[in-house]
Structure 1
Amino acid sequence: MDSEREPVRVVIVDDEQLVRMALRLVIDGEPDLTVVAEAADGNAAIAVVDEQRPDVVLMDVRMPGRDGLSTTRELLTRRPAPRVLMLTTFDSDDLVLGALRAGALGFVLKDTQPPRILDAVRTVADGNPVLSPAATARVIAAATGPQSAHARHSSREAARKELSTLTERERETARAIADGLGNPEIARRLRISVATVKAHTSSLFAKLAVENRVQIALLVRDAEE
């Protein structure tokens, strides 16, 4: 990260004080990151985010009262919206997948080593998704697990309807994003410039009313089920 940039402003949301303290010590030890506030539940998180306008919210998935999923949905209606990185033990996969659909950019396990948590915060701050290997496996399992035929059909039809508004090139770009390709790789696949890829991606965000590439990938997967 450029040393001349302002430090990334982080809010920590977790109902366990010891977790918040440990994360603050780790994050505040970095010159390019700073914790501007903490919150112990979802409602408090909304209040401090509105006050502090952080770049990144490190959000616990499960909390008493308002959980991380509901809070994430609310925070991502803000303009500009903070980037949300979820903290989880993966004891509730439905919340994990729901938060990705809501716009969270990634997940880290609570027992992740500090350097990897710091890397995840920086990655999310730059607008890029991040999932640990364990998180990826669980998300895939949640996304492809058993589901009623009616629910699967409804999700597929809704996704196809949204994707039908796209041009052919935008659909190709969405497919490449779902395949996990970055802008340079998409440009090579489609034989277009990186600038054109960025233009298509911006159009996808607007037409599909999404906040990030993870949501695009989930929408493509739903349409293809």
Structure 2
Amino acid sequence: MTRVLVVDDHPVLRDGVRAALVAASLDIVGEAASAADAVRLAVELRPDVVLLDLQLPDFSGIEAARRIARDAPDAAVLAFTMSDDDETVFAALRAGAIGYVVKGVESRELVHAIETVAHGDALFLGPGLARRVLAHFTATRAAASAPRVTNPVLEAARLTDRETEVLELMAAGWGNAEISQRLYLAPKTVRNNVSTILGKLQASSRGEAVVWARAQGLGGASP
């Protein structure tokens, strides 16, 4: 059963989300109304998914996503907000979100989004949102392959065979512990590989690296 931490400062909305997720047999392990509590509970409860509003009273959900990606890296952050402008969307991805859902979607769509990111897949729900994100990463890939680009944002060609293996499993939704077992590597070695991959791809977070890897067709390995 997918374990979910729901973060939103509006009690009525949390009530509605809770009812929809419970009806779909998802496990609500906690709720938070602030960014600070979101980070604390993500670390304490280790949910599979953090459903995260980006407009919170103490500090932004973008910063909360960044801290969760750092302190609870196995939790998939799913941004859940009213805003669908490109600046907010890509800020969330850079901070570590693996999915983005614009409020107003149907309950079944929200449940599908949660289950999707819980398995490590990127998902974007909102008017034209998936198309815009795909266009962004397609343009990024084209820029990275252009001969005049001297500092491409993402340089996958520089990955070693081992780093490529690790990235493939990251894109498939595997956590560090699972990657360690699959590849017979020490946990510290996996953490070091992940850090190196982020540096080589110039990705600011695990989530950004995963989204890019999925756009390249990686992530076919089954847990």
| Coarse TM-score class (shorter-chain normalised) | 0.5 to 0.7
Contact 2:8 2:53 in 1 (8 A): yes
1:140-186 residue CA offsets vs partner (Å, 9 max, x unmatched): 688899xxxxxxxxx972625x5463259989xx9xx9xxxx98xxx
Residue of structure 2 in register with 1:102 after alignment: 95
- Judged with a 3 Å threshold, the aligned counterparts in structure 2 of structure 1 residues 133 and 92 are, in CA distance, closer, same or farther, namely closer
Match for residue 214 of structure 1? 211
Q: Could you tell me the percent identity over the aligned residues?
A: 31
Q: Give the equivalent residue in structure 2 for 1:22.
A: 16
How does 1:113-192 map onto structure 2 within 5 Å?
113-132=106-125, 134=127, 135-139=129-133, 157=151, 159=153, 162-163=155-156, 165-166=158-159
Three-state SS of the structure 1 residue aligned to 2:158 is coil
Structure with the greater alpha carbon radius of gyration: 1
Q: What is the CA-CA distance between 1:95 and the residue it aligns to?
A: 2.1
Q: Could you say if the C-alpha distance between residues 61 and 170 of structure 1 is closer, same or farther in structure 2, counting changes exceeding 3 Å? A: same
Count of residues paired in the alignment: 178
- Structure 1, unpaired ranges of 5+: 1-6, 146-154, 184-197, 220-225
* Corresponding letter in the other structure for 2:197: L
Query: Any gaps of 5 or more consecutive residues in structure 2?
Result: 140-148, 173-181, 184-189, 199-204, 217-223
RCO higher in 1 or 2 (8 Å CA, sep ≥ 6)?
2
- Partners in 2 of 1:34 and 1:91 — Cα distance? 27
Contact 1:85 1:107 in 2 (8 A): yes
Q: Which amino acid aligns with 2:158?
A: T
- Name the amino acid aligned to 1:96: V
1:14-53 map, 5 Å: 14-31=8-25, 33-53=26-46
